[in-house]
Structure 1
Amino acid sequence: MPEAVLALVLLAAGFYVGWNIGGNDAANCIGTMVGAQILSFRRAALLMGVFVILGGVLQGHHVMKTVGKGILITSPEQYEEVHHDDPPESMDHYFPEERLPDLAVFVALISAGIFVTLATFTRLPVSTSQAIVGGVAGVGIGMVGFDGSYFKMGVLVKILTCWVASPILCLFL
């Protein structure tokens, strides 16, 4: 596939996930205020749009780095840093460009997007973050199997711990 077409396909997949964030996660941000008639839907959506853009520009790179480079080990340097050992020879086979292959990125995005779309149409509030982390981990499993040496288990444990702790802590805040 030509690079320009591939770039457009990946961009479209990213837009699809972004649309899902608006469709599902927006309810988490503004649903209570709209439901309680504190703000009109239109005003709440406008405010949310402004602050989503600000958050993405000012802080989004932190989470982007975790999702894009923090879940899977895709380079010999990362492998040596995590395991203090030489990387397996198969590393070049799975990650020849020392990053997730474009097809893997596409599959992770589309998988997350489809899941969140289905949840949105069934009126279930779900986390797009959980969906995309699951998508990245899923493509990792699809590529290397359940070989844990290709995963940054410490990062995954931190993410999973936050997912479990978040609702519990919010009950008491």
Structure 2
Amino acid sequence: MDAAGLGVLFGLIAAALLFDFLNGLHDAANSIATIVSTRVLPPRAAVFWAAFFNFIAFLFFGLHVAQTVGTGIIDPAVVTPRVIFAALTAAIVWNLITWWAGIPSSSSHALIGGLIGAGVASAGPSSIVWTGVSKTVAAIVLSPAAGFVLALALVLGVSWTFVRNTPYAVDSLFRRLQFVSASLYSLGHGGNDAQKTMGIIAALLFAQGHLGNEFYVPLWVVLSCQAMMALGTLFGGWRIVKTMGSKITRLTPMQGFCAETGGAITLFAA
């Protein structure tokens, strides 16, 4: 590969890591809004808490999501620098718009949509791996519903279990338990969302012949993506924290624990 080609490759990897940083910045609010809104942790401490668990998530997860994004959304044969550039640009612009507006949208959805759109624009609908897309769309549709049902069931079950306890005792218990639920949610977020960027970078490397004949995610890609996700989390998305923490609904520590646990189970299952 000539110098110009290497420059393009490095530039696209940098753009992918920028997206990963913005993902942490944008979606970190999902990890910490609940524990901040219930006043279990102040914002600064919550950000460091979430960043730590976002970074170590790769120790607990396989790379199945990265494999799907890298080979199961669009045909690897049509992956070119132009396609990756278009997908990343669309996702980054959308992330910046929704971050500025304080809208809690999904960075993953933006990236998958950008990848599909870039693939269709480059090589037509035949470039799409429809089996992989259908599974991804099903997960996108079902995840909010699953989180809702799980959190609702947890709230009802916990309320029935602790019906004879005083509100102070319940709050005191679930303030401690929220450390566990927030940690699990951050692990799920880091293990799921960072892999989207890993898949994009690995797909680019594979298409350019840097991975040989077999698709895999190099360790340096894994560590870089987890680090950028954690770094983005450290900067936080306070506009979205405010929306998630107080403008959608107000939560008690018990409700916050149930919301985080339901979300964490959904992320781990994905």
Shorter-chain TM-score range: 0.7 to 0.9
Structure 2 counterpart of 1:55, which letter?
A
Structure 1 counterpart of 2:138, which letter?
T
| Alpha-carbon separation, structure 2, partners of 1:50 and 1:20 | 17
RMSD over equivalenced CA pairs, Å = 1.8
| Alpha-carbon separation, structure 1, partners of 2:82 and 2:122 | 11
Q: CA deviation at 1:56?
A: 4.0
The verdict on how the C-alpha distance between 1:143 and 1:60 changes in structure 2, with shifts beyond 3 A counting, is farther
Q: Which residue of 2 aligns with 1:48?
A: 50
- The two structures have a TM-score, normalised by structure 2, of 0.51
Structure 2 counterpart of 1:113, which letter?
I
Question: Which gives a bigger RCO, structure 1 or 2 (Cα 8 Å, sep 6+)?
Answer: 2
The answer as to whether partners of 2:87 and 2:115 remain within 8 angstroms in 1 is yes
Q: Which residue of 1 aligns with 2:18?
A: 16
| Alpha-carbon separation, structure 2, partners of 1:129 and 1:23 | 13
**Structure possessing the higher radius of gyration over alpha carbons:** 2
| Alpha-carbon separation, structure 1, partners of 2:53 and 2:47 | 10
Structure 1 or 2: more helix by fraction: 2
| Alpha-carbon separation, structure 1, partners of 2:96 and 2:142 | 25
Q: CA deviation at 1:74?
A: 2.8
| Alpha-carbon separation, structure 1, partners of 2:60 and 2:19 | 20
Pair 1:34 & 2:36 matched: yes
SS class of match (1:2): helix
The verdict on how the C-alpha distance between 1:7 and 1:146 changes in structure 2, with shifts beyond 3 A counting, is closer
Match for residue 165 of structure 1 among 122, 137, 142: 142
Percentage of pairs with the same residue: 28
Q: CA deviation at 1:4?
A: 3.2
In structure 1, runs of 5+ residues without a counterpart are: 76-94
Structure 1 counterpart of 2:112, which letter?
V
Q: CA deviation at 1:45?
A: 1.1
Q: CA deviation at 1:40?
A: 1.6
Q: Which residue of 1 aligns with 2:111?
A: 132
Match for residue 102 of structure 1 among 81, 87, 99: 81
Pair 1:155 & 2:157 matched: no
The verdict on how the C-alpha distance between 1:112 and 1:56 changes in structure 2, with shifts beyond 3 A counting, is farther
- Structure 1 range deviating more: 53-62 or 128-137: 53-62
Q: Which residue of 2 aligns with 1:69?
A: 71
Match for residue 141 of structure 1 among 106, 120, 129: 120
- The total of aligned residue pairs comes to 148
Shift >4 Å, 4+ stretches: none
What are the within-5 Å matches in structure 2 for residues 108-127 of structure 1?
108-127=87-106
1:114-133 superposed Cα distances (whole Å, 9 cap, x missing partner) = 11110111000111111110
- The two structures have a TM-score, normalised by structure 1, of 0.78
Q: CA deviation at 1:11?
A: 2.4
Q: CA deviation at 1:10?
A: 1.1
Q: CA deviation at 1:166?
A: 1.1
The answer as to whether partners of 2:120 and 2:128 remain within 8 angstroms in 1 is no
Structure 2 counterpart of 1:64, which letter?
A
Structure 2 counterpart of 1:169, which letter?
A
